[in-house]
């Protein structure tokens, strides 16, 4: 028996696709069944000869197929519904024209056909101008069939046409329900890929205001994912809770909660919640799919790895990169230090690594961030990853390069794959840190200033790792922040001194916090107020009062926000970031430090001091 090859199968599908497209064009042009049947009998030997090649009576078989296609094709002239033909009686003359009774002729051929599950609406819509898509919601077209057509267009690169097809179903102010959920999800994805953020937000708002409980839950789930992607983990969890209230039995909620917690770095809680959802899934109705149950099972052991597993399936090149990294050679000293008289050093790769880096820059689309920004890589590096993946495989020496590790970390970050921060980005950054320690092992006091361009890939890796450790509450955040701020780059271009001061306060090291703030006088609100707090905790109340008076004078917005009873979260001060001295900076300080002020009694002391100063 001949087993079709992949090429043969794909070729057959292409032929069938072309045949059905031709059928749709013929029927849209002339919807008469007899005319179509005659056309099909004449056309099918030319368009799809293999389809009838084995038939004993090709013309008879072709008419059976023509009748089947006609019966499932929705026509614009019939409000996008098929004109279904009545089944002949078994003793009636057969429709093929043979003169025999139907039961002795085409009944056996008509019993089942290859087109039973074909969505002919998609082929009909291929012939319809975009301007007429607005007619579809008021027609007899099924939304599932419409969404299926949009899905195929998206896969074929016709995303704009898919968007135009789906948008009319969400226009106006009429009610929406769970039948819109599949179309809603697809349109959200299409907007995301097209960079239409305002339309995504508007679609969510429409679903929340006009949808039934099921669709509202779906919208809240989408909002949770959007917040998580923005790093707004508390908002993401609140959106998840809203979704859960509306549809507590939705099987997708378990994966969502685990993913939100994983993205927030709360791996232990994510693990416990995965166990909960796994136990619940066993008695769920409808039952959880085998695939989703397996994800929960893996997440109960290692949530970051489970989420990353999903990402690997969606991004095969990411999986290959992970495998190459797993096989990387041990960290080695591949840098020379160019020392200056002031004790600073500049990092330069040795000749062999420098040559490999030059080749890397030819094949990897580098996108270094401006100034000191982090995590602003370009995910397009994975659009055509084969050249640089092949180079990494051929020259594993590149794993010793700060420049390469910096590039890969930012590219992976830009992909936004859950679990990647913990299982890919963190190991890449840890390797960069190990390489930097090796490079500096003979010069314990050397500074590696940011002002030297050659030092920036290494310093950016250290700073990114500090930020990640801070966000996850890792114990090594303090040591890494000290290393970066106090030794490597005292200029602190990445602005981590405030976080270091906060860590000192959290760990009851008031004297070290005071010493740190003295190194950066006349600084931003964070350092200014942390100095006040450190002096208060250190029982230096007179100095604390003087420092508070100075802080209140220089940062009025911050002191007002800190001491407010229940302030509202302010909007953004500027489209270019947080404005120094603005309300957003003040809110950020309050969010991160209020508990420290309250727990030690400094908050009430500051309120009294403020009244005394007036």
425 band by pLDDT with thresholds 50, 70 and 90? very high
Which residue stretches of 128-212 are H helix? 143-155, 159-166, 181-194, 197-210
Q: Return the H-helix or E-strand segment holding 348.
A: strand 345-349
CB-count burial class (<10 Å; 0-12, 13-18, 19+) for 553: exposed
Could you count the other beta carbons within 10 Å of the beta carbon of residue 98?
A: 16
Out of 57-71, 74-88, 471-485, give the one with best mean pLDDT.
471-485
What residues have CB less than 8 Å from 240, skipping those under 6 apart?
220, 221, 224, 253, 256, 257, 260
265 band by pLDDT with thresholds 50, 70 and 90? confident
Measured CA distances, 354 to 334, 338, 433 (Å): 9, 15, 19
- Identify the residue with better confidence: 269 or 265: 269
Residue with tokens 């002020």: 597
- As a whole number of angstroms, the distance between CA 17 and CA 14 comes to 5
CB-count burial class (<10 Å; 0-12, 13-18, 19+) for 442: exposed
5 band by pLDDT with thresholds 50, 70 and 90? very low
Residues 353-373 have a mean pLDDT of 89
Find the distance separating the first CA and the last CA of the chain, reported in whole Å: 96
273 pLDDT higher than 80: yes
Q: What's residue 9's pLDDT?
A: 34
| Average pLDDT along the chain | 89
Q: What's residue 416's pLDDT?
A: 82
Residue with tokens 């840890």: 430
What residues have CB less than 8 Å from 234, skipping those under 6 apart?
none
Residues 540-563 have a mean pLDDT of 94
Here the contacts of 575-584 (C-beta below 8 Å, separation 24 or greater) are 580/524, 581/525, 581/555, 581/557, 582/557, 583/557
Residue with tokens 């420092």: 547
576 pLDDT higher than 60: no
Per-residue pLDDT of 113-164, as tens digits, reads 567 678 999 999 999 999 999 999 999 999 999 999 999 999 999 999 999 9
């Amino acid at each position: 028996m001949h087993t079709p090859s992949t090429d043969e199968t794909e070729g057959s599908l292409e032929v069938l696709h072309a045949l059905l497209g031709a059928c749709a064009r013929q029927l849209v042009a002339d919807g008469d069944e007899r005319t179509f049947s005659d056309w099909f009998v004449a056309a099918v030997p030319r368009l799809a000869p293999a389809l009838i090649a084995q038939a004993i009576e090709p013309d008879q078989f072709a008419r059976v197929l023509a009748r089947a296609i006609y019966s499932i094709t929705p026509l614009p002239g019939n409000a996008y519904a098929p004109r279904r033909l009545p089944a002949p009686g078994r003793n009636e003359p057969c429709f093929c024209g043979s003169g025999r009774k139907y039961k002795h002729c085409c009944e056996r051929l008509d019993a089942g056909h290859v087109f039973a599950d074909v969505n002919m609406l998609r082929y009909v819509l291929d012939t319809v101008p975009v301007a007429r898509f607005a007619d579809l919601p008021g027609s007899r077209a099924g939304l599932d069939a419409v969404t299926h057509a949009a899905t195929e267009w998206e896969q074929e690169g016709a995303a704009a046409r898919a968007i135009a097809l789906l948008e009319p179903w969400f226009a106006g102010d009429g009610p929406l329900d769970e039948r819109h959920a599949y179309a809603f999800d697809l349109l959200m994805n299409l907007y995301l890929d097209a960079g239409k953020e305002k339309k995504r937000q508007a679609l969510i708002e429409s679903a929340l205001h006009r949808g039934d409980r099921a669709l509202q839950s779906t919208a809240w789930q989408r909002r949770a994912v959007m917040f998580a992607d923005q790093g707004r983990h508390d908002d993401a969890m609140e959106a998840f809770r809203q979704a859960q209230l509306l549809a507590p039995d939705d099987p997708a909620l378990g994966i969502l909660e685990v993913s939100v917690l994983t993205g927030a770095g709360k791996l232990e809680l994510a693990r416990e919640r995965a166990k909960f959802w796994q136990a619940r899934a066993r008695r769920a109705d409808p039952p959880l799919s085998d695939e989703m149950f397996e994800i929960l099972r893996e997440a109960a052991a290692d949530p970051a790895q489970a989420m990353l597993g999903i990402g690997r399936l969606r991004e095969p090149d990411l999986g290959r990169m992970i495998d190459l990294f797993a096989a990387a050679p041990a960290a080695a000293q591949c840098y020379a230090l160019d020392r200056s008289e002031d004790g600073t050093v500049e990092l330069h790769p040795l000749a062999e690594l420098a040559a490999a880096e030059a080749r890397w820059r030819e094949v990897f689309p580098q996108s270094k961030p401006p100034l000191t920004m982090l995590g602003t890589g370009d995910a397009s590096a994975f659009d055509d990853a084969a050249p640089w993946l092949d180079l990494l495989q051929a020259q594993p020496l590149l794993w010793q390069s700060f420049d390469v590790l910096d590039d890969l970390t930012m590219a992976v970050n830009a992909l936004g794959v859950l679990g990647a921060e913990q299982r890919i980005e963190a190991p890449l950054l840890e390797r960069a840190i190990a390489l930097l320690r090796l490079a500096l092992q003979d010069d314990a006091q050397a500074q590696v200033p940011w002002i030297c361009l050659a030092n920036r890939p290494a310093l950016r890796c250290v700073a990114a790792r500090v930020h990640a450790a801070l966000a996850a509450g890792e114990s090594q955040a303090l040591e890494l922040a000290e290393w970066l701020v106090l030794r490597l780059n005292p200029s602190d271009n990445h602005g981590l001194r405030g976080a270091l001061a906060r860590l000192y306060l959290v760990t009851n090291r008031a004297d070290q916090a005071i010493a740190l703030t003295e190194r950066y006088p006349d600084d931003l609100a964070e350092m200014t107020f942390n100095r006040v707090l450190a002096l208060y905790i250190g029982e230096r109340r007179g100095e604390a009062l003087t420092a508070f008076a100075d802080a209140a004078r220089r940062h009025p917005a911050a002191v007002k926000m800190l001491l407010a009873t229940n302030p509202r979260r302010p909007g953004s001060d500027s489209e270019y970031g947080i404005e120094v001295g603005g309300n957003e900076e003040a809110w950020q300080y309050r969010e991160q430090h209020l508990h420290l002020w309250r727990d030690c009694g400094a908050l009430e002391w500051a309120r009294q001091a403020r009244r005394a100063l007036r």
